[in-house]
Amino acid sequence: MSGAWTRKEGKNPEGGLNAKGRASLKAEGHDIQAPVSSKEAKSSPKKAARRKSFCARMSGMKGALHDENGKPTRKLLALRKWDCHTR
């Protein structure tokens, strides 16, 4: 059986994973943390660096930001959740 992070119940509709999805990944031995918004990044240089790194990596990934129906893809939702500047 696959973890909750691969199914709808582990995904946040606003982008990224919810707490249940992160917990299922942690149970599989992964080290995952919650997203960092730009407001949170101002409180810590470590959080700011993590956010900057994620935005740089995720923005450079191939793939559409919208599907054929014009709805945002999981990629775009994740970029928005992390407050990465997108088109």
> Which of 40, 60, 65, 62 has its CA nearest to residue 50?
40
d(CA 49, CA 5): 25
Q: Dihedrals φ, ψ of 72, to 5°?
A: -65, 140
Domain range summary for the chain, segments of one domain joined by +: 1-34, 37-87
pTM for this prediction? 0.78
pLDDT in tens, the chain (87 residues): 578 878 888 888 888 888 899 999 999 999 989 889 889 999 999 999 999 999 999 999 999 999 999 999 999 999 999 999 765
Quote the radius of gyration of the chain (alpha carbons, Å): 14
